[in-house]
């Protein structure tokens, strides 16, 4: 049984890169009929928070990346929180010490920091010299009895090499001589990532470790860990990093990286998933718009790229527009309403009482939207009494100085007589009467649009007239005529 996991540390929100890693794990698991596990790596007690954890869970749920095992999936969650498994790690550490595969190190943080600094100044790589592994049992005992704090380090071979067999990168060889004896237990007894990740992955029966390329250089150490513990080494797949505009690892300084904020900005989860899947992977079919089900059906680690991929929100926006167009009017209205409320155009109560009207507005704007939150800006004149002319609209108004008064007079008469509810009828009369008045369509269409909406662009003109309504149309036309 294939089993993969996503193992975030709850020290912040779920960012784009993490979401993409989770997605690849999810797609691989589903494609292979395996299981997707969520594990919370909270051994950094300084920075871990419950709020971060909740945000990560919410983010994954929003994207539809539900886990088969993990928090909330069984009566006993303790397996999926590392701080709840401390006893397990200690037992493993003790066993390693007893077997002579690990040892207690009494070097202090200060000593090591000083050495690291010195090495840096001398422009050479710092590597712990394993001196505490040379301590005799008596010396260790004496130091312990003296109450000296210690960390526990894993003994790593000094010669030979480790090979990471990576499903994406092939065999990656590392000389053991560049590795040092890594700390597995801190002085306060808390275990270190490189240790717990191995213990947990082994205990959970993780078969494939799919993670960002930034972990590739940790992998040789982890392989030594697996071997020391007597575990089978899983398969690894290191996926390329997501890059910012300057080609460095995507981070806050490149802009918004919190997944949940993309929802706030008006992105659809379908677009997010689709776009993220295409960062570092492409389907053999060559399709570009793919729903989750299709992604699962086609996902293949062998087709994952090696090079990092730049995050480009232009394409994401295009995709978002495509998915917005696929939404039903009801669903889209649900998504637009909060933005209209936030803009102050409607109240919570009106969101319900004026539902039909809101659906009509949404329907006529559907094909224009790239982001949900654009709904307010594009629809302002449907919710305000006045519709002052934009700069572009003023130009149109001025450009048609000859015909504008006549146009509006004809329009006013039509609306006063037929109202605005029957848009087909309004359109028919506008065409007939304008022609009779000798005004060309290029002219009256633009003038009318500017008059009733204040804008030069928007939905179909007769849709706009219908939704603005008789009363406001007349008011806006008269006000323009008066100002002229």
Partner RNA sequence: GUCCCCAUGGUCAAGAGGUUAAGACACCGCCCUUUCACGGCGGUAUCGGGAGUUCGAUUCUCCCUGGGGACGCCA
Footprint on residues 83-122 left by RNA (CB under 7 A)? 107-109, 112, 116
Catalytic annotation present for 109: no
Q: Give least dist CB 123 to RNA, A.
A: 4
DSSP string, 111-133: HHHHHHHHHHHTTS------GGG
Q: How many residues bind RNA (CB under 7 A)?
A: 84
Of residues 135 and 351, the one with the C-beta less far from RNA? 135
For residue 308, the minimal CB distance to RNA (Å) is 6
Minimum Å gap between C-beta 43 and RNA is 4
Contact between 273 and RNA by CB under 7 A: the answer reads: no
User: Does an H or E element contain 170, and which?
Assistant: strand 170-175
Three-state secondary-structure class, residue 150: coil
CB of 330 to RNA, least distance (A): 20
For the chain, how long is the longest CA-to-CA vector?
Answer: 111
Identify residues 19-58 at the interface with RNA (CB under 7 A). Answer: 41, 43-44, 47
149 binds RNA (CB under 7 A): yes
Minimum CB distance to RNA smaller for 108 or for 418:
108
Contact set for RNA, span 358-397 (CB under 7 A): 367-368
**Identity of the residue, 1 or 302, whose beta carbon is nearer to RNA in the bound complex:** 302
Residue from 2, 135, 167, 187 touching RNA (CB under 7 A): that is 187
Q: If we measure between CA atoms, which residue out of 397, 482, 483 comes closest to residue 443?
A: 397
Site string for RNA, 319-338 (x = CB under 7 A): --xx--x-------------
Q: Using CB under 7 A, which residues numbered 419 to 478 contact RNA?
A: 441-442, 445-446, 449, 456-462
**Which part of the chain contacts RNA (CB under 7 A), choosing from 29-37, 62-70, 180-188, 329-337?**
180-188
Contact region with RNA (CB under 7 A), list: 22-30, 188-196, 261-269, 334-342? 188-196
Tokens representing 76 are: 């006993």
- Residue nearer to RNA on the CB measure, 142 or 352: 142
One of 49, 51, 64, 178 touching RNA (CB under 7 A): 178
d(CA 202, CA 100): 21
Looking at residues 211 to 240 of the shown chain, list those that interact with RNA (rule: CB under 7 A). Answer: 213-218, 240
Minimum CB separation from RNA for residue 288, in Å?
Answer: 5
Copy the structure tokens of residue 285. 């079919």
CB 460, CB 395: distance < 8 Å = no
Query: What is the distance, to the nearest Å, from the Cα of residue 145 to the centroid of all Cα atoms in its chain?
Result: 51
Residues 275-304 that bind RNA (CB under 7 A): 278-282, 284, 286, 288, 302-303
Nearer Cβ to RNA (248/353): 248
Q: Which of 73, 117, 118, 252 is catalytic?
A: 252
Question: 3-state DSSP call for residue 468?
Answer: helix
- The answer to whether residues 345 and 380 touch, using CB atoms and an 8 Å cutoff, is yes
How far CA 97 is from CA of 29, 94, 125, 158, 362, in Å, comes to 36, 5, 27, 18, 66
Q: State the minimum distance, in angstroms, from the CB of residue 112 to RNA.
A: 6
Q: Which of 95, 186, 254, 354 binds RNA (CB under 7 A)?
A: 186
Question: Which of 2, 86, 167, 190 is in the footprint of RNA by CB under 7 A?
Answer: 190
Q: Which phi and psi (to 5°) does residue 136 adopt?
A: -75, 160
Cα distances from 467 to residues 61, 76, 88, 372, 464, in angstroms, run 37, 55, 66, 20, 5
Q: Are 5 and 38 in contact (CB under 8 A)?
A: yes
Q: 10 Å Cβ neighbour count for 365?
A: 20
Pairing verdict, β 242-243 and 309-310: parallel
CB 29 within 8 A of CB 4: yes
Report CA dihedral (265, 266, 269, 273) to the nearest 10 degrees: -60
Q: Minimum distance between the CB of residue 385 and RNA, rounded to whole angstroms?
A: 22
| Residues classed as catalytic | 252
């Amino acid at each position: 049984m294939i089993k993969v996991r996503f193992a975030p540390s709850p020290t912040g929100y779920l960012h784009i890169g993490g979401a993409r890693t989770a997605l690849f794990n999810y797609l691989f698991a589903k494609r292979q009929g395996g299981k997707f596990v969520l594990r919370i790596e909270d051994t950094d007690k300084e920075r871990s928070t419950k709020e971060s954890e909740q945000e990560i869970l919410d983010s994954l749920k929003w994207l539809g990346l539900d886990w088969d095992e993990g928090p909330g999936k069984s009566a006993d969650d303790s397996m999926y929180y590392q701080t709840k498994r401390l006893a397990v790690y200690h037992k493993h550490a003790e066993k390693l010490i007893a077997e002579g595969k690990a040892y207690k190190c009494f070097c202090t943080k200060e000593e090591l920091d000083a050495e690291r600094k010195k090495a840096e100044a001398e422009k050479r790589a710092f590597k712990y010299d394993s001196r505490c592994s040379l301590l005799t049992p008596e010396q260790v005992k004496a130091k312990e009895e003296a109450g000296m704090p210690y960390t526990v380090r894993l003994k790593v071979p000094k010669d030979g090499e480790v090979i990471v067999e990576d499903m994406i990168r092939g065999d990656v060889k590392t000389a053991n001589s560049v590795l040092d004896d890594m700390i597995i237990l801190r002085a306060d007894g808390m275990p270190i990532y490189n240790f717990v990740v191995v213990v947990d992955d082994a205990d959970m029966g993780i078969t494939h470790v799919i993670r960002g390329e930034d972990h590739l250089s940790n992998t040789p150490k982890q392989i030594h860990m697996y071997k020391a513990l007597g575990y089978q080494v899983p398969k690894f797949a290191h996926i390329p990093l997501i890059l910012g505009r300057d080609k460095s690892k995507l981070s806050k300084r490149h802009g918004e990286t919190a997944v949940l904020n993309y929802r706030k900005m008006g992105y659809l989860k379908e677009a997010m998933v689709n776009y993220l899947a295409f960062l570092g992977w492409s389907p053999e079919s060559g399709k570009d718009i793919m729903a989750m089900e299709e992604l699962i059906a086609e996902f293949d680690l062998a087709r994952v790229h090696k090079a990092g991929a730049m995050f480009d929100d232009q394409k994401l926006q295009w995709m978002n527009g495509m998915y917005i167009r696929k939404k039903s009017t009801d669903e889209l209205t649900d998504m637009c309403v909060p933005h209209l409320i936030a803009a102050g155009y409607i109240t919570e109560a009106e969101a319900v009482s004026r539902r039909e009207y809101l659906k009509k507005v949404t329907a006529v704007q559907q094909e224009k939207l790239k982001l949900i939150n654009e709904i307010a800006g594009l629809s302002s004149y449907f919710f305000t009494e006045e519709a002052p002319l934009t700069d572009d609209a003023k130009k149109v108004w001025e450009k048609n100085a000859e015909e504008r008064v006549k146009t509006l007079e004809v329009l006013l008469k039509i609306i006063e007589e037929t109202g605005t509810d029957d848009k087909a009828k309004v359109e028919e009369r506008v065409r007939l009467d304008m022609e009779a008045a000798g005004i060309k369509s290029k002219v009256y269409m633009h003038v009318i649009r500017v008059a009733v909406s204040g804008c030069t662009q928007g939905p179909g003109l007769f849709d706009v007239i219908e939704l603005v309504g008789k009363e406001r149309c007349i008011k806006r036309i008269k006000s323009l005529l008066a100002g002229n």
